Amino acid sequence: MAEQTEQYKKPYFDSSVFLSWIKKEEIGRVKRWEHVAHILALAERGEFNIFTSTITLAEVHKMRSGAVLPADLNGQLLAYFEHQFIQVIDVDRMIGEQANGFCRQYGIFPNDAIHLACALRAKCDVLLAWDNRFVNVTHPAIAIKEPEIIGQLRAPGL
């Protein structure tokens, strides 16, 4: 496939993105996990780093409305976060206070607000999430949207 000009440069993953990948999630005809696997494959090959928050380490044990992730998958996912291409942003007081403001401003859940604050701290170009309420937020400094393959180089094996 020919090289495309649009590609993530500094993506941030909400925990829902990692969960869709590890759980091989499909919603209707959309194989969400394939979108994520594609982006992760590009990161593994050194195209860019993936950013996420320390809160993701706790959130990935289950989806908001889903069952708890089986222990073996949970362990695999936590181990995956140790790859060099995954950068984990610490949550501190400044992030907490900024997230508090985002909750009030955008009406989003506290953990989503923390993800937004962490993505901004890392100066990410996009925050990726599988969350209709969250991806409808418009922030002037960062795009918040669902993971896509469109505009990305197709990773080998996908």
For 18-65, write each residue's pLDDT tens digit.
988 988 888 888 889 999 999 999 999 999 999 999 999 998 887 656
**Which residues, 6+ apart, have CB-to-CB distance to 128 below 8 Å?**
11, 12, 13, 14, 17, 39, 145, 146, 147
Q: Please name every residue paired with 144 in a beta bridge, in sequence order, or none if there are none.
A: 127
For 71-102, write each residue's pLDDT tens digit.
888 888 899 999 999 999 999 999 999 999 99
Length of the chain, in residues: 158
- To which H or E segment does residue 93 belong? helix 93-106
Residue 128 tokens, joined:
């990726």
Give residue limits of the domains in the chain: 11-145
pTM for the model = 0.88
Domain 11-145 falls in which CATH fold? Rossmann fold (3.40.50)
**Which residues, 6+ apart, have CB-to-CB distance to 65 below 8 Å?**
none
